[in-house]
Amino acid sequence: MIVVGVIITLIFAFLWARDVMSPRRKRAAEPEPEPGHPAVAEAEPERYDRNAFLELTTLGLGGVITAVVALPVIGFAVLPAFTRQEYEGVDLGPLDNFPENEWREATFLLEPSAGEVSRRTVFVRSNGDVDGVPNMTIISNRCVHLGCPVQAGGPREDQDAETFQAGDAEVRLTPVQPANFSCPCHGGAYDTEGNRIAGPPVRALDRWTFAIEGGNLTLVAPYSVGEVEGEGANAQIEAYQLQGPGEHVDGLSAFLYPIQAQDFE
């Protein structure tokens, strides 16, 4: 569509240039009225010369091409700020499944009706209670470079993995002891709070909000993170609405991507 518009614009631009550079044709002289026959003034219809036609056509085509190119870009940049994707809570089972200061790799189906294509993985650590409320660190395993699956860099106790039914979905919990998190695709590396420490990722790993319902840990919704200061229950998180892999959420580069609201709740 854009290529066709450019070709048409170039053709009309050539015709316009040729018309401007060529000498204008002189209109034939009007005949003198015969004696006894007075001249009758006839109203001429309003005319537009070829220059005006070409100018209007070129401007019109330019406007159409601009709209075709610009509107999707504007929509991509602005609309996400006014829309939020809805998630159904994911039940990860009783809090007893998550001992304090220990990590569990949890895999589950985000949408059981969609099957394996909706399988997701998070790394969960209980930080104990803060003011009587359980505090959890829940980090997504999706690399924020290109979305590859991040792995825990440390011992993995598959023999102690537990699979059970929680709500409508099957959940598998595997004890892990990460010294860091790493991506096998392009060498991205993160510390145990999800901060980037090496490689091409542009921000910290995404996290999940959570709720405690009936004594069970329930995932609520994912969100993006700029940086995490501190650890565990004392961590200060720069939280933003969920952003795609490779997209910045802070700094000057963030202006090249959809507008993000800080302090996402």
pLDDT tens sequence across 170-216? 899 999 999 999 999 999 999 999 999 999 999 999 999 999 998 99
Report angle CA 16, 22, 26 to the nearest 5 degrees: 110
d(CA 118, CA 53): 56
Return the percentage of the chain with pLDDT > 90, whole number: 45
pLDDT tens sequence across 63-98? 778 777 777 766 655 555 555 556 678 889 999 999
Q: Which of 129, 132, 137 is nearest to 104 (CA)?
A: 137
Average pLDDT over residues 13-27: 57
Q: DSSP labels for 39-75?
A: --PPPPPP---HHHHHHHHHHHHHHHHHHHHHHHHHH
Answer whether 188's CB lies under 8 Å from 143's CB: yes
Looking at the DSSP bridge assignments, the partners of residue 137 are: 125
Instruction: Identify the pLDDT of residue 61.
Output: 77
pLDDT tens sequence across 232-250? 999 999 999 898 888 888 7
Written out in words, the top-level CATH class of the domain with range 90-256 is: mainly beta
> Is pLDDT above 90 for 99?
yes
Burial of 15 (0-12, 13-18, 19+ CB in 10 A): middle
